[in-house]
Amino acid sequence: MKRKNILFGSLLLPISMFAIHGNAPFHAVQQKNAPASKVVKAPTSGETLVILPYSEGFDTEASLNSFKIIDANIDDNTWKWEEEDGGRVDYFTEIFENNPGDDWLITPGFNLEAGKKYTFAFTAKNNDSTEKLEAFIGKSAEVKGMTISVLPKKEITNAQPQIYGNTIEVTEAGVYYFGIHCVSDPDKMTLSIDNISIKEAAVAVAPDGVTGFKITPDEKGELKADLEFTTPSKAINEQAINQLDSVQILRNNVPLTTIKSPAVGTLLKYTDTTPKNGANIYTVVAYNEAGAGKAVNLTAFVGEDEPAPPVNTAAQLVGDDVQLTWTISDKGFNGERVNPDNVTITIYSTIDGINRNLVADNIKGSTYTIVGGNSQPKQQQLSYQIIPTSKGGTGKLAYTNPVIIGKPYTMPFQESVANQKIENDYWAMDKSKGQVGVLASSESFDGDNGSFLLKSNDPNQQLSLQTGKITPKGSQKAFLTFYHKAAQSADETLTIKIIKDEKTLSTLKVIDCKDSKNEWKREELDMSNLVNEAYLQIAFEVNFGETHNSILLDKISMTAAPVADGIEQVSTTNNIENDALYTTMGVKVNAKGKLPKGIYIKNGKKIIIGEF
């Protein structure tokens, strides 16, 4: 969201408000005499062995009660249960965390037999950043007990769940524990674990895996998926097999269906009508008299993704209304399908991106009109947040361009900053990052104790002071008149632009201040070519140079006819070295010495001597 500094209220802000302050450094504090690790969670019901095959989908928070969690680096960032995705376990690190991950998620114990092979598997995914993990088994549920590698250190780059694991043979019988170890680098985000499974690996004469496994999710985003595969005709040892007892299909480690006595080498199809919205892991296992064969896994996204942020967002003023438009992509945040017709939109208005008001919700389509949204009496700059929601969740918001709502000022428009208070409700400022801003000055051209002071404390800064909306409609002509004052030989430039909806309609004049003499100067600029605009804004843009001085602006007016005050020059000195100087009564005066302040005639034009 592009944000302007809005000069609301009657009193302008001091320059100190525009200073840039750096963040205080923060330091890591090393804990002294700390234990080597911290057991965050231990099994709540004592030692209970699980029977293989074992699986855990973390459907409820209580499912974590049989696990042991070790925060080995004692930084309070460790594994926690989350209800998303139907339940999972997350390692979450605080932003700007200096420590790498060193946290263990350890299963309850289970018996393994010597000389047998076992398959260990789980799903993992990240959240916006690459994570790292490794996995071990061991004979105690302690860090030092995790001695047998199951999965070497692995980078997790996928945002959707994928299966990780391995098959290993143990040489010694006994009770073992399976541990997943997060070793992510510092300052990462979230590592998610789900669907842990441990089972005896298939024997050599059991069926090989199915082939040609394919999943076709419903193209409209409905919760339905078609599966097809060809049953195996060989055993794991490559020997031919003549028959199968069954084929089992599982989703996320939960059995879906069992097909009895299928033929070998034949195409089978199945339609899943109850998948969850999101990533689903399907497993197909063939059985014969030797038992379960080789499992084949495939992940498919079913349903609709979380919507990506809307694009082509726009806000446009149409009479008294505000019209909003946007586009929803058919590719979601994770690159999966989204049906734009199913997406609902929530809209907020906001002045600063933080404080916001609900405009509408549960909107479908790609446009919405805020009836009367531009009819309020006072002007205010707003942007609109467009937030999409689908079956896959609520997506990230997108902002429209800012617009100034409210009735435009009419001519004659005048701003004199009398007594250092603005007369009109809306003035806005765009500025560069340095110490630069707008102040109220007691110095004035017209003697009312107030003017705008556009000032920079840093070199080479930019500043734009902008009026609210002003309408010239109904007039045949329009003129901008104002007074400005810069220091002697100042190196800034003052550019006067007419803008509308943040687009430049016209550049009226560029004033180079290098010829300035610390005197008030009057400008009268013809804007008559713009009288057919419904509204416009006046922008005073300053490019400060190396000396980063200041410019005063006063008695700003936009009128249908030139302002006839007759003053052509203002001098703040009492010495005017010119013999051709007269009083307003036509009496020639001696200009060699100091003159009383007042109005004089010079070269046929009025001039003010001395500042009022």
pLDDT digits (tens, 9 = 90+) for 507-535: 999 999 888 888 999 999 999 999 999 99
Residue 22 pLDDT = 28
- Residues 71, 167, single domain; the answer is yes
> For the chain, first and last CA: distance in Å?
44
Q: Does 10 map to a domain?
A: no
Average pLDDT, integer, range 141-161: 95
Residue 23 pLDDT = 28
The amino acid occupying position 86 is G
The CA distances from residue 420 to 469, 521, 532, 541, in Å, are: 22, 20, 33, 21
Reference 210, options 176, 233, 179, 180; nearest CA is 233
- Residues 526, 587, single domain; the answer is no
Phi/psi region, residue 83 (left: phi>0; alpha: psi -120 to 50; beta: rest), is alpha
Reference 328, options 295, 288, 368, 374; nearest CA is 368
Whole-number Å distance between alpha carbons of 418 and 440: 10
Count of structural domains, the chain: 5
Q: Count of alpha carbons within 13 Å of 596, Cβ hemisphere only?
A: 4
CA 286-290-293 angle, 5° bins = 30
Q: Are the beta carbons of 270 and 249 closer than 8 angstroms?
A: yes
The CA distances from residue 335 to 68, 226, 301, 390, in Å, are: 35, 20, 10, 14
Q: Does 27 map to a domain?
A: no
- Provide the token pair at 506: 């016209």
Residue 390 pLDDT = 95
Model confidence pLDDT, tens digit, residues 447-481: 999 999 999 999 999 999 999 999 998 899 999 99
Q: Is the pLDDT of residue 11 over 60?
A: no
Residue recorded with tokens 């193209």: 219
The amino acid occupying position 568 is E
Whole-number Å distance between alpha carbons of 259 and 193: 30
Q: Is the pLDDT of residue 67 over 50?
A: yes
Residue 549 pLDDT = 81
- Residues 401, 418, single domain; the answer is no
- Provide the token pair at 543: 């490019």
Q: Does 294 map to a domain?
A: yes
Q: Is the pLDDT of residue 375 over 60?
A: yes
Residue 77 pLDDT = 84
Residue recorded with tokens 């005073």: 540
Cα 452 → chain centroid:
35
Read off the pLDDT band of 33 (50, 70, 90): very low
Whole-number Å distance between alpha carbons of 550 and 449: 18
**pLDDT-above-90 percentage for the chain:** 72
Return phi, psi of residue 144, to 5°: -70, -15
CATH number of the structural domain spanning residue 153 = 2.60.120.200
Lowest mean pLDDT among 6-15, 51-60, 314-323: 6-15
The CA distances from residue 59 to 56, 72, 393, in Å, are: 8, 26, 19
Q: Where are the beta strands (DSSP E) in 243-397?
A: 246-251, 254-260, 267-272, 278-288, 291-292, 296-302, 311-318, 321-327, 344-350, 356-363, 367-370, 380-390, 393-394
Q: Does 277 map to a domain?
A: yes
Q: Is the pLDDT of residue 572 over 90?
A: no
Q: Does 49 map to a domain?
A: yes
- Residues 194, 53, single domain; the answer is yes
- Residues 548, 444, single domain; the answer is yes
Task: Please report which residue ranges of 298-367 form alpha helices under DSSP H.
Answer: none
Question: Can you tell me whether residue 522 is helix, strand or coil?
Answer: strand
Average pLDDT, integer, range 125-139: 94
Q: Does 206 map to a domain?
A: no
Whole-number Å distance between alpha carbons of 388 and 395: 5
Residue 68 pLDDT = 96
The CA distances from residue 406 to 372, 409, 558, in Å, are: 9, 9, 19
Q: Does 33 map to a domain?
A: no
Single out the residue in 302, 334, 363 at which a domain terminates: 302
Mean pLDDT of the chain: 87
Whole-number Å distance between alpha carbons of 121 and 118: 10
Single out the residue in 247, 267, 302 at which a domain terminates: 302
Whole-number Å distance between alpha carbons of 37 and 35: 5
Q: Does 308 map to a domain?
A: no
- Provide the token pair at 560: 């249908």
Residue 92 pLDDT = 78
CATH number of the structural domain spanning residue 378 = 2.60.40.10
- Residues 91, 194, single domain; the answer is yes
Read off the pLDDT band of 8 (50, 70, 90): very low
Contacts of 140 (CB under 8 A, 6+ apart): 177
Read off the pLDDT band of 496 (50, 70, 90): very high
Q: Are the beta carbons of 468 and 425 closer than 8 angstroms?
A: yes
- Residues 42, 166, single domain; the answer is yes
CA 20-25-30 angle, 5° bins = 170
Q: Is the pLDDT of residue 482 over 70?
A: yes
Q: What is the pTM of this model?
A: 0.70
Decide the pairing of beta strands 493-500 and 567-571.
unpaired
Residue 588 pLDDT = 67
- Residues 163, 58, single domain; the answer is yes
- Residues 272, 185, single domain; the answer is no
Q: Are the beta carbons of 104 and 68 closer than 8 angstroms?
A: yes
Read off the pLDDT band of 52 (50, 70, 90): very high
Task: Please confirm whether the linkage preceding 108 is cis (ω < 30° from 0).
Answer: no
Q: Which helix (H) or strand (E) holds 470?
A: strand 470-471
- Residues 192, 43, single domain; the answer is yes
Read off the pLDDT band of 576 (50, 70, 90): low
Read off the pLDDT band of 20 (50, 70, 90): very low
Whole-number Å distance between alpha carbons of 140 and 281: 31
Residue 591, number of CB atoms within 10 A of its CB: 19
The amino acid occupying position 298 is L
Q: Count of alpha carbons within 13 Å of 598, Cβ hemisphere only?
A: 11
Phi/psi region, residue 59 (left: phi>0; alpha: psi -120 to 50; beta: rest), is alpha
Single out the residue in 405, 427, 457 at which a domain terminates: 405
Q: Are the beta carbons of 117 and 200 closer than 8 angstroms?
A: yes
Residue recorded with tokens 């250092």: 420
Residue 31 pLDDT = 28
Furthest CA-CA distance within the chain: 127
Q: Where are the beta strands (DSSP E) in 29-98?
A: 38-41, 54-56, 68-71, 79-82, 88-92
- Provide the token pair at 122: 């789980």
- Residues 462, 438, single domain; the answer is yes
Lowest mean pLDDT among 138-147, 452-461, 597-606: 597-606
- Residues 401, 413, single domain; the answer is no
Q: Is the pLDDT of residue 586 over 90?
A: no
Instruction: Write out the residue range of the structural domain in which residue 382 sits.
Output: 314-405
CA 433-435-438 angle, 5° bins = 105
